[in-house]
Structure formats: C-alpha cells, structure tokens
Amino acid sequence: MSEQGGTPGSTPVSSRRMARRLLAGAGAAEVTAYRHAGAQPLAVMHALDEDGRVIVAACPGAGHPLADALDGEVVEVRLDVTLEAAEPSLRVTSATAHLLGLLTWLDEEETALVLAGETAGCHCPVTGEDPLEGLGVLAGARGGRLGIVTAERVMVHDAMGVSGHTLAEVVEADDAPALLWNDLDSVSAQEEVRELGDAALTLLCDSVVQGRLAGVLCSHRPADGLCPSLYGRVLCADVAPDGVTLMHVSPTCVETVRVCLPSGTRRACEVGPFLRGCVQEALLEDLLRG
C-alpha cells in the first residue's frame, strides 16, 4: 500500500490533480454572489486556464445579482464544483471543490479574445476537444455571458480527505499530464470497471490493503445506515488517468481504496485491461500460495 508522501497516489499530489480536474470542467459547477442577501446559486459551465483562472459561462436570469452586474464589475462569489460517480444504484459524490473568488464578466471584445486563445489548461487527449467550445456556445446564447473567476486557494473534499491548495499548485499539479477525459470516456471507463464484478473488485481492494498492488487505503468507516442490499458490493466512485477509486461495502464498514494506474495511462480504454491484468496476477499469486 502506497505511503502518503510525494508519490502519484499520495494525498497532496492526488488532491491537487483532483482540484485541477474539477476546476477544469469535470463535474457540475455553481457560483453564488454570497454578499447579496438571498442570492441563489447560478449554474455555470467552466474551464481552467494556464494562469489558474476559472473561465465560466452562464445565462443568469433577469433579477439575478449576477445578471445585474456590469461588464468589468467585480463581484465576490463562491464557486462550488461537485463530481458524482456514474453509479446507477445510488448517488455517490466522488469529490467537491470550493473557493471564494472574484468574478468579472467580460465584454464582447474580451470574450472573443478569450474564446479565440489557447488558454485552457486541460483538454481531452483522445478527441482533442477544446473545453472552451461549450463555454462559447453558452456565452453566445441569448442572455449568455462569459466571465473570469480569480482566487488564491481552493478547498478539495475527495477520497483522500480535505485539503487546501493554491491555484498555482493546482495548475502545476506536480507535472501531472494535463488530461481531462470527456464525460463519455469517463462513463465508459467506469462501466468497464463495474463489469469486472464485485468478486474481482474485492480482490483488487484486498490487494491494495495487503500491499500487493500499488494504491492507498483512503478511509475505513462504519457502514451504519446503509441498505443491506449493498453489503458485498464494490462501487466505482471515480476513474481518472492516475487512479481508480473503489468503495467496498461490508455489513460493518465501508473501505474506500484507490488503485494507482500506470503513469503512462492516457486513454480511458486502457483502464479495464490494466485492472483485469491485476486481477489475474492476484489470482495466480493466491493459487501459488495455496
């Protein structure tokens, strides 16, 4: 089992990579003008540029504080991003990111410059998708606007716990590959993981805990209040280029385990074959021991 230090599966590195994924477009994002009494969260599309600024696009409705803000006006906001697992049996929140920052809506000329530039910090390596394309479509819709959120720090809640990072650390992310799988690839990877079945996934979790497979035991919590039908299940909470997060549910506890993927992993389709190989190796090792 990996120690929590500077390795790819450790808390600081993994959480900074998660922060970058969340700020770069993964998950669902909302901004709230918290200084305005009764202000409701505004759903936004978002991306992260190379300078650590979060680019947001939205269509605020009439009367919303962020609709009334003028171009160039600075508004204090809270940005919240939530990433949920593609798990059909129940709702699993994989990670969240939260920051307090300053939102500035851009005028038409500034919007055009941002959308025409190559400022996005992450992209999909398979399709070459530009994360700014979707933002441009929304910003160009009736009532649509494009803005920039600047902040110093971001808080991340993920399988590794709670951590805080500067935006500069998030952009660098310890020289991690700047990859952002699109939603289709992420869902496809999670489906491949689930297709391995509970027995194989349990074997992977046990291998990490026993130190036979690179990874980390993220948490060990009581299973109080969980439906008995979940006992014996292994849920796939998240899949990313650097690891797979699994939740093993037993009658007494829930163990969250992160299986490290090889450093050269770039495509979502590589996850399933790698895990199947790990399962076969574990089974062979058990046979030789027996």
The share of the chain scoring above pLDDT 70, in percent, equals: 88
pLDDT of 89 > 80? The answer is no
Is 112 in a helix, a strand, or coil? helix
pLDDT of 272 > 50? The answer is yes
In angstroms, the CA 242 to CA 244 distance is 7
The mean pLDDT of 263-283, rounded to a whole number, is 91
Distance of CA 76 to the CA centre of its chain: 24
Closest CA to 150 of 38, 246, 31: 31
Range with lowest mean pLDDT among 4-8, 98-102, 125-129, 255-259:
4-8
Domains detected in the chain? 11-180 (2.30.110.10), 185-289 (no CATH)
Distance of CA 164 to the CA centre of its chain: 15
Under 8 Å CB-to-CB from 46, ≥6 apart: which residues? 23, 24, 25, 29, 54, 55, 56, 57, 79, 81, 135
* Pairing verdict, β 42-48 and 93-105: unpaired
The mean pLDDT of 142-161, rounded to a whole number, is 95
In angstroms, the CA 20 to CA 67 distance is 27
pTM over 0.75: yes
Most trustworthy range by pLDDT among 86-95, 179-188, 238-247:
238-247
- 35 token code pair: 């200084």
In angstroms, the CA 282 to CA 290 distance is 12
Alpha helices by DSSP H, 117-270: 132-139, 167-172, 183-195, 198-209
The share of the chain scoring above pLDDT 90, in percent, equals: 54
Number of residues in the chain: 290
Contact 247/256 with Cβ under 8 angstroms?
Answer: yes
Under 8 Å CB-to-CB from 137, ≥6 apart: which residues? none
- Average pLDDT for the chain: 86
pLDDT of 81 > 80? The answer is yes
In angstroms, the CA 47 to CA 189 distance is 22
* Pairing verdict, β 42-48 and 28-32: antiparallel
Q: What is the pLDDT of residue 179?
A: 63
> What would the pLDDT profile of 105-148 be if each residue is shown by its tens digit?
999 999 988 888 655 656 554 445 677 888 999 999 999 999 99
Q: Which residue has the higher pLDDT, 106 or 241?
A: 106
Q: What is the pLDDT of residue 143?
A: 93
HSE of 160, CA atoms in CB hemisphere, 13 A: 26
Q: What is the pLDDT of residue 183?
A: 77
Q: What is the pLDDT of residue 1?
A: 42
Please report the sign of the dihedral spanned by the C-alpha atoms of residue 80, residue 52, residue 184, residue 42: positive
pLDDT band at 178 (very low <50, low <70, confident <90, very high): low
> What would the pLDDT profile of 3-47 be if each residue is shown by its tens digit?
333 344 456 788 888 999 899 888 999 999 999 988 899 999 999
Range with lowest mean pLDDT among 41-45, 72-76, 268-272:
268-272
Closest CA to 119 of 199, 54, 184, 57: 54
